[in-house]
Structure 1
Amino acid sequence: MIESVHPSSPETRGAPVRGVIFDLDGTLADTLHDIMHALNTALRSVSRRPADADQVRAWVGDGLPTLCRKAAPDADEGTLAALVEAARTAYAAHPYDRARLYAGIREALTALAERHVPLAVLSNKPHDLTIRTIDGLGIGDLFHPVRGCVSEADRKPAPGPALAIAQGWGLTAASIVLVGDSATDIATARAAGMRCVAVKWGFRDAAELRAAKPDYLISEPAELIRVLTEWPVDA
């Protein structure tokens, strides 16, 4: 079901969509178990109790350092630094072993590419692991560019990386839609002056997404084609 939540301003609401930026984790692919494996490997290395899937699902989305802080909130700076480094090392060894594209994502991406809509990935995952994961999932040729996090200053919801993608495409921010599964993605779109579609199949529940006020909230990838090609949709 397509749900209209918080439509953009009248100036952008009726404008055609010229480009689409996708989040990775929880949007294109279910990467939870790879992230959980890396985190728990790191937690064990500093004699901490491993986290379960529900905990990790609630914590992901803001990058490895924040994930580690949430997993060990009472850790001192030295322990936290060791935890982050151990998680990064474990994740680099197995970034997409258990990752799977969500059902219907490949078809939706292919349909957009056939319409010559430029597509990009913007993730808070480390940049090198973002590229490796997208390539490992077999969809790297559909995205230009693929961009992960290269510095804390560029971490979503900072708008700079999204705006850099728009500039690289030669498009205005208002002509681009950001697709994601978290309040962080929605905040990124708003900060950049872009429109936003939130997805229900990811790591956050629908109530949290509604509260963050995306333009649309969708239930399955097939709905993405209608939203992006017919915007605005009479949901």
Structure 2
Amino acid sequence: MYQAVIFDLDGTLLNTIGDLAQAGNYTLAQMGLPGHPVEAYKYMVGNGIPMLLHRMLPETARTEENEQRAAQLFFPYYDQHKEDTTAPYDGIVPLLDRLRGAGVKLGVVSNKEDHLTRQVIGQYFPGVFDDVRGHVLGTPTKPDPHLVHEMRAAFGLEPGQVLYAGDSNVDMFTARNAGLDGCGVLWGFRTAQELKEAGARYLVAAPSELEALVLGRPAQKER
């Protein structure tokens, strides 16, 4: 049994891709640039919004000036529209309730900006998580493990007692860099192949499978 689970946010707890894509395409339209299908944004997110802005710009437009302009457009729009279509994935709320009921500590570490991460968690999961941390300007993003190290230490637990759950290779690299077991979730933005290649110890197809894994019931490894 794991005594704590640290979750990624986007693509793991919440399906945020619609609102991120809408903000991205709004930004591009304001700059006179072509937008992208929602599916394309699934492969642009994961390393923080500044990297999302870089990736969504056409290669010929990836200048410092354009990225700054994109940030000026994106952040206010996304802040106003970040809850238009965003919602927890099916089964996530019951999962969190049951884990808390079993005494498991719960945390979130995201590459989303810290104030946005806390706002979103406060909106959708008030009072649920023991610790929430997002990216702070001037510090490295995941897969750097510093936020995970800090959270695990705050929980007073050893690496083997903590599971890290996420939907992308960034998350699996983060888990490895932090010395934690990594669990790839298959309901998010990326593929099972990507998660396996990034070193996921476990893959789960539904929140109920993650619950079984954390609480020490039989769980499939390496699907």
* One-letter amino acid of the counterpart of residue 46, structure 1: M
SS of match in other structure, 2:215: helix
Deviation at 1:91, TM superposition (A): 1.1
Corresponding residue for 2:37? 52
| 1:56-95 per-position Cα deviation (integer Å, ceiling 9, x unaligned) | 1111111111111111133211011111221112111122
Corresponding residue for 1:4? none
Corresponding residue for 2:205? 219
TM-score by length of 1: 0.89
CA distance in 2, matches of 1:188, 1:32: 21
> Does the aligned pair in 2 maintain the 1:154–1:161 contact within 8 Å?
no
Deviation at 1:232, TM superposition (A): 7.3
* One-letter amino acid of the counterpart of residue 177, structure 1: L
Mapping 1:32-71, distance limit 5 Å: 32-71=17-56
Corresponding residue for 1:78? 65
TM-score by length of 2: 0.93
> Does the aligned pair in 2 maintain the 1:197–1:214 contact within 8 Å?
yes
Is structure 2 residue 115 aligned with structure 1 residue 121? no
Point out which structure has higher relative CO (alpha carbons under 8 A, 6+ apart): 1
Please identify runs of 4+ aligned residues in structure 1 that moved more than 6 A. Answer: none
Mapping 1:65-214, distance limit 5 Å: 65-72=50-57, 73-74=59-60, 75-137=62-124, 139-214=125-200
Aligned identity (percent) is: 32
| 1:89-126 per-position Cα deviation (integer Å, ceiling 9, x unaligned) | 21111222211111111111100000111101111111
SS of match in other structure, 1:230: coil
Deviation at 1:173, TM superposition (A): 2.2
Corresponding residue for 2:8? 23
Matched residue pairs, number?
219
Stretches of structure 1 that go unaligned for 5 or more consecutive residues are: 1-15
SS of match in other structure, 1:59: coil
| 1:166-195 per-position Cα deviation (integer Å, ceiling 9, x unaligned) | 111111222110000000000001001111
> Does the aligned pair in 2 maintain the 1:17–1:231 contact within 8 Å?
no
Deviation at 1:152, TM superposition (A): 4.8
Stretches of structure 2 that go unaligned for 5 or more consecutive residues are: none
Deviation at 1:230, TM superposition (A): 0.9
* One-letter amino acid of the counterpart of residue 146, structure 1: V
